[in-house]
Every structure is written in structure tokens, then in C-alpha cells.
Structure 1
Amino acid sequence: MQPPTTITRVLVIGAGAMGSQIALTAALAGHTTIVQDIAQGRLDAAAAQLRESTDKMVKSGKLAEEQARRAHDRLEFSTDLEAVAAAADFVIEAATERLEIKKAIFARLGELAPPHAILATNSSTIGSSAVAGASGRPGQVCNLHFFNPVLVMECVEVVRHAGTSQATVDTTVELARSLGKTPVLINHEVPGFVANRLMGAVQKEALALLAGGVASMEDIDATARMALRHPMGPFELMDLVGLDVVDYIAQATYAATGNPADAPDESVAALVRAGKLGRKSGTGWYSYSR
């Protein structure tokens, strides 16, 4: 069955930072949006955090108070996957980056979601081909990869696997545009897609320059900002993304390619083992005030 050309009900699986921001973005764009998670506590925390986010946006003049109210009216939160999946037009899975968990979710979505519904994964490392078969509708499965912070970052990666239908691609691209994002289409699955491959190449060179004593971390970051006009340097960016996430992406890429050049960096791994994860932990490459 062909996917619908108009999406009215969006279901987001996972109430973490990414899932909740994706949901608010969809609600702000006018879609009825449901956030589903197995833990009521995470749903409650997400609802409170999203309310805080829109309050800040209203206070800063970036969002009208009436727009915020209407967005929250469109948001729903539920632990009942069976009930909310049954009415979804488009599902965005933003659960833990573990393949076995994602496969189980897509298997359930394949059973519960309407036949026309598109099933997308927000994964930055796992291509949708790994979960498409479990869904029973591989032609309606793709990656829709948002970037953190979702409310700010304009780009989204739409990644098709070999069996993704053109109708699914077209509808996913149009949904991304309706959310105020600029979709980039990736026609072949490759580890890291495009953005993470570009980011990884810069990070790898920065780490090599630091390890070789060529320049200090601070000067490497300053060069990236001032000479290349990057908004932040590679070490600052790693701290923002989270060093655990950087390390996980490297592990997943290396597992997929087996190329020694893609092996995780030991200096990053050492910081992760020490609990120094970047901004979210208060220290990483740099130290941050709480």
C-alpha cells in the first residue's frame, strides 16, 4: 500500500532528549504528536522539560505564547504502544541505540501500525535495513536522522535502504520540510551517513594533531572557528555531543567496516571510562560550570 501524502498523526517512540525534542518540533509544526515510552517517569520528565523549553522560547521572543499553548495541546504522552500505534501515520523511533531493542520495536510497529504508516528510525549509526525486515513492511522503512538540539538544527538526513520505496522517500522528505527542516537525501547506507562521517574525519585529524603535539586543544579549536568558520572547534563539539556518543559512533562504525582506521580513539575512550562525558557531566576535554 502507498504511504499517505498527508501526515496528520506522528508517533515518536522514546521520551529521551532526542525523542522529546522531535515530538515538540512536530507539534509546533501543527501535527498531532504522541510520545510513547515504556517508563511513565521518563514521559513525565519529558513533558516538564518541553514545557520549560517553550517557556524559555516565549520569554526570549522566539515563540508566541499562543503558539506554545497550541503545540502543547497537540502533544500526548503514553506508555500504551498498542493504542497509540494504531492511529499513527508516521512513526519515528528514537529509542536506545541497541539493534536488538530496535528490531523488537519495529516488529511490534509492523503488527500494530496501520498498513499505510511509514516507520522511520532516528538512529545515527544503525541503517534502517537492519530493522526493515522485522517490520514486515520494508518498503515503508527508512532513517530520518535529526541532529541535537533538534529545535535548533535545520538539517535532517533521510536515508533509504535498498528496499525503501520512492513513495516512502517522497513522503518522508515532505514531512521533514513541514517540520521546518531541510532534508538531505542519502541514497546508499554507509556507516555514519554523511554528517557523522564529515564530523568524524575532522575529529580524527584533530585528535591526531593533539596526540602529535602539533598544537594544543585550545589552538586547534580556535583554528577551526576562525580559519574554517566552524561554529565551534572539534573538541568543543565532541563535548557538546557527548564523548560517550562520540565513542559509541566510532565503535559502531568500526564494527561495520572492520577498518583499523575507523577504530575508536583511545583518548576519547579513556575520558569516557573516567566518567568525563563532556558538557552533560561537567567535564570532558574542557571543564564546565554547572
Structure 2
Amino acid sequence: MIEISKVVVLGTGVLGSQIAFQTAWSGFSVTAYDINDTAIDQARLRLASLVKTYRKEVPGADAGQEAATLGRLSLSSDLATAVADADLVIEAVPEVIAIKRATYEKLAQLAPSKAVFATNSSTLLPSALKDFTGRPDRFLALHFANSIWKFNTAEVMGTSDTDPAVFDALIKFASDIGMVPIPIHKEKAGYVLNSLLVPLLNAAADLAAGGYAEPHDVDKVWRIATGAPMGPFQIYDIIGLNTPYNILLHGDAHAQQIAAWLKDSYIDKGKLGVASGEGFYSYPPAN
């Protein structure tokens, strides 16, 4: 039987920080790892912001639970120390296959044999990474949506090598941390969420990059015509522009043109989305 009590999250960006915080909030011991002390300092700021967000948006949040959560959550820039006794390692490093593969090659040497590895990749298939893990039978995808505390799906997708007991254990773990598990029965690029979402975001970017309509007007049409609470460019800002940029950069020639537009018009100007205070929209500083 697979028991999960000690969880490590690799990568403390927007979603990695959320995964770490939500997991600690749900009672697990969590270590959040990143590559250097500068990244760890940024992670502390993100976690402090999440305390304020949970206080405002999560029913029943109080000072006692916030303190307990932070007490269960530690930060480290030493990978060997971070994973030394891990039961589950959730990888949330940048969506670049070379970075992910290199991460797993290191992880395979350092993590105990009991540890299950899970990638939070939003677009890459786990089979593209399994041979670098050193334990393909204990490896699968566990994909979260952004704003994890309210958009609480967790897509679980294995490979042909994934042990069914590992798959079932991750379904249970997802439920234990307040997610709604979505079992995916065979590999599908984009999983469920991004199979639906990425074409929408790409179509929106194509309209704006091509000069057909302004981002705010694209959002306005989508919200009014469908009743959706947010338009695609509002979603871009929540995700953060770096992730879609990295995905588009590795696409076809047209996708690379859109990536160049994102970079020149927004990313190079420091407009990265909600996390930077400005993207397609401007955001007031958190109180």
C-alpha cells in the first residue's frame, strides 16, 4: 500500500507555490524546492500573498489554520535535502522539456525508492519524461488548474508503465488535498483542461497579434456572448505569460510568430500577468 505523508514540490512559481500551500493547508508535511536563494525569497513572497488570498476567499480560513499551514511548509534550495525522505515529489518546473528531463535525471539519483514522481506539466505527455525518472512504474502526471483553491480539479494521467496502485494512490491524494480528481484513462496531449483551453487562448492571441481586435474587446465578446466570467486574455494574465510563451515558442511557424508578439509587446516590458502587477490588464498591489 502506498502511503503519502511527506510531499515535495519542485518549483515555486505561481502554480508550484499554490500546490505547496494547498497541500500543507490540507495537513501534509511539504517541502517546496527551488534552484537558488533568490527564487526561495520570491517563493516566500508568493506564500505570504497566498495567506492573504485564502483569508479572503477560502471559507473557514483563520489565523490558527494559517499558522499551522506555514508550520507544515518548509523551503529549500538543496535538492538532495529536500527529497531525502519524500513519499511524493510533484514537479512544477518550467514547461521546457530539456529542463524537466534534466530535473528528473537528478531526482532519480537523490530521491528514495519509495517516492512517487508526478509531473504537473500542462502540455507534455508523461511518456516523454518517464525514461528519465528511473522509476517509470512510479511516475505519472498530476495536473492542477491555476487558482487551485477555487478551480480545484486535478487531472491524473499515467503511462503504459504506471503501476495501477500508484494511479489509485494519486487519485486519493488529490481528493485528500481538496481537489476533484479527474482520471484520464490514456495519454492525451493537453489532458482534458488544456485540450479545451489552449485552442481558445491561441485563437484569442491570433486575433490580437494579427491586429484584428484589441485584447480587451476579444475578452468582452467572449464574456457577453458565452456568459463566461473571464475572457481569454484575463485567463492569460492569471496563468502568467511565460508559460504560454514557452509553449508557443516550440510550436509551428505561426505559433512562433505569436510567441514573438507576446515577448515583444508584453514580456520584454515586464508585463507578465497578475504576478507582476500588469499583463494585458493592470492589477493593484495586494493589501
- TM-score of Structure 1 vs Structure 2, range by shorter chain: 0.7 to 0.9
Match of 1:47 in 2: 44
Could you say what secondary structure the match of 1:185 adopts? Answer: strand
Match of 2:106 in 1: 108
Specify which of 10, 13, 29 is matched with residue 10 of structure 2. 13
Could you say what secondary structure the match of 1:264 adopts? Answer: helix
Measure how far apart 1:248 and its partner are: 2.4
One-letter amino acid of the counterpart of residue 176, structure 2 = S
Is the CA contact 2:273–2:281 (under 8 Å) kept in the aligned structure 1? yes
Please say which of residues 48-57 and 71-80 is displaced more in the overlay: 48-57
Separation (CA, whole Å) in 1 of partners of 2:49 and 2:278? 25
Separation (CA, whole Å) in 1 of partners of 2:104 and 2:258? 36
Measure how far apart 1:118 and its partner are: 0.7
Please say which of residues 119-128 and 187-196 is displaced more in the overlay: 187-196
Measure how far apart 1:200 and its partner are: 2.2
Could you say what secondary structure the match of 1:20 adopts? Answer: helix
Could you say what secondary structure the match of 2:124 adopts? Answer: coil
Separation (CA, whole Å) in 2 of partners of 1:80 and 1:117? 17
Is the CA contact 1:121–1:145 (under 8 Å) kept in the aligned structure 2? yes
Q: What is the aligned-residue RMSD (CA, Å)?
A: 2.7
Q: From the superposition, tell whether residues 200 and 6 of structure 1 become closer, same or farther in structure 2 (CA, over 3 Å).
A: same
1:156-209 Cα shifts (integer Å, max 9, x gaps) = 221212211211111111111111011212233333222122112223444566
1:83-129 Cα shifts (integer Å, max 9, x gaps) = 23121100001122222222222122222222221101111122221
Runs of 5+ unmatched residues, structure 1: none
Match of 1:172 in 2: 170
Measure how far apart 1:21 and its partner are: 1.5
Is the CA contact 2:12–2:40 (under 8 Å) kept in the aligned structure 1? yes
Is the CA contact 2:249–2:259 (under 8 Å) kept in the aligned structure 1? no
One-letter amino acid of the counterpart of residue 81, structure 1 = L
1:40-76 Cα shifts (integer Å, max 9, x gaps) = 2222331243134214533677411111111111011
Match of 1:247 in 2: 245
Separation (CA, whole Å) in 1 of partners of 2:144 and 2:57? 24
Match of 2:26 in 1: 29
Q: From the superposition, tell whether residues 229 and 117 of structure 1 become closer, same or farther in structure 2 (CA, over 3 Å).
A: same
Match of 2:71 in 1: 73
Separation (CA, whole Å) in 2 of partners of 1:230 and 1:134? 40
Measure how far apart 1:287 and its partner are: 5.5
Match of 1:273 in 2: 264
Measure how far apart 1:153 and its partner are: 2.1
Give the structure-1-normalised TM-score. 0.84
Match of 1:185 in 2: 183
Is the CA contact 1:139–1:163 (under 8 Å) kept in the aligned structure 2? yes
Is the CA contact 1:15–1:46 (under 8 Å) kept in the aligned structure 2? yes
Q: From the superposition, tell whether residues 55 and 238 of structure 1 become closer, same or farther in structure 2 (CA, over 3 Å).
A: closer
Is the CA contact 1:247–1:264 (under 8 Å) kept in the aligned structure 2? no
Q: Does 2:222 match 1:224?
A: yes
Separation (CA, whole Å) in 1 of partners of 2:52 and 2:235? 26
What does residue range 205-216 of structure 1 map to in structure 2 within 5 Å? Answer: 205-206=203-204, 211=210, 213=212
Runs of 5+ unmatched residues, structure 2: none
One-letter amino acid of the counterpart of residue 43, structure 2 = A
Separation (CA, whole Å) in 2 of partners of 1:36 and 1:268? 29
What does residue range 192-203 of structure 1 map to in structure 2 within 5 Å? Answer: 192-203=190-201
Q: Does 2:150 match 1:152?
A: yes
Sequence identity, in percent? 35
Separation (CA, whole Å) in 1 of partners of 2:96 and 2:258? 24
Match of 1:94 in 2: 92
1:17-53 Cα shifts (integer Å, max 9, x gaps) = 2222111111000000011222122223312431342
Is the CA contact 2:9–2:89 (under 8 Å) kept in the aligned structure 1? yes
Match of 2:135 in 1: 137
Is the CA contact 1:119–1:141 (under 8 Å) kept in the aligned structure 2? yes
Could you say what secondary structure the match of 2:42 adopts? Answer: helix
Measure how far apart 1:11 and its partner are: 0.7
Q: From the superposition, tell whether residues 199 and 87 of structure 1 become closer, same or farther in structure 2 (CA, over 3 Å).
A: same
